[in-house]
Structure 1
Amino acid sequence: MSYSFRAYRFILQCVTNRVKNYSTWNTMSVKEFVNGKIAGKKVVVFSKSSCPYCTKAKDVLRQYVGKEISEGDYEVIEIENDPRCQEIQDYLQQLTKARSVPRVFVKGKCIGGGDDTAAAHKNGKLKSLLA
């Protein structure tokens, strides 16, 4: 795989810690990253490890792992340490009309956040969405 000069320059800037504000070049990779994750798994959660609503959603979803969700079809993406965290949240806002985490996707569709996931579990909708 070959990279363009622009890609090499960006990588070099990252390594030398000179990149403070990611450029438009990286915005496309954020879209590709998010879309690829959503398309690649049955259930995807964009999360922050210290967020109580994220914990709520993950706790609910863990109940389905090994049953309605195979371990390989479930992914939690903790974004707080990703240097593109703000851009990821900006893109999630474009997709879902909400910037907050968690953003829970089931079969490519956003079902909402922690409270939404818990409510869908409680009323049985989550189980039917996962079927």
Structure 2
Amino acid sequence: MSNGGVKEIIDEVIRKYRVTVFIRPGCPHCLGAKNIVRKYIGRVVPQAEVCFVDIEQQADSRAFQNYLQLITGAPAVPSSFINGQFVGGQQTLRYLHTSGQLTDMLQTTIKR
């Protein structure tokens, strides 16, 4: 898969869902990020507006990781996006969760 194809796929997923988290199996930080987001599903954000993308399940996982690094500046997953904006990894999600800011961010809907 070309990087152009990867860019289109990633950009579309980020645009389509209110919450997108790119993860890798076996990554404890990815599991932590996923668990934080799951606390809000059904309570603050509908399941249909949340997407977890396992980059290892993609045809070219290295290209996925490279493009994510390009757009986020972060060298590894998890990479979390809310309303199309990169917010960070597990540590940032945990901070936003404990401070109450994550609820506000998830309740804010932008036109896609």
TM-score of the pair, normalised by structure 1: 0.78
Q: SS state of the match for residue 80, structure 1?
A: helix
1:37 partnered with 2:13: yes
Q: Which runs of 5+ in 1 are unaligned?
A: 1-21
Aligned partner of 1:56 in structure 2 is 32
Aligned partner of 2:110 in structure 1 is none
Q: Distance in 2 between matches of 1:99 and 1:90?
A: 8
Q: Which runs of 5+ in 2 are unaligned?
A: 108-112
- CA drift of 1:99 comes to 2.5
Whose relative contact order is higher, 1 or 2, with alpha carbons under 8 Å and at least 6 apart? 2
Q: SS state of the match for residue 49, structure 1?
A: coil
| Identical amino acids, percent of aligned pairs | 31
Q: Which has the larger radius of gyration?
A: 1
RMSD of the alignment, in Å?
1.0
What are the Cα deviations for residues 83-102 of structure 1, in whole angstroms up to 9, with x where unaligned? 31111111111111113100
Aligned partner of 2:68 in structure 1 is 92
Q: 1:46 aligns with which of 19, 22, 37?
A: 22
TM-score of the pair, normalised by structure 2: 0.91
What are the Cα deviations for residues 10-53 of structure 1, in whole angstroms up to 9, with x where unaligned? xxxxxxxxxxxx5xxx1110000000000000000100121000
Aligned partner of 1:68 in structure 2 is 44
Q: Distance in 1 between matches of 2:53 and 2:26?
A: 13
Q: Distance in 1 between matches of 2:17 and 2:75?
A: 21
What are the Cα deviations for residues 46-69 of structure 1, in whole angstroms up to 9, with x where unaligned? 001210000001111101000111
Aligned residues: 107
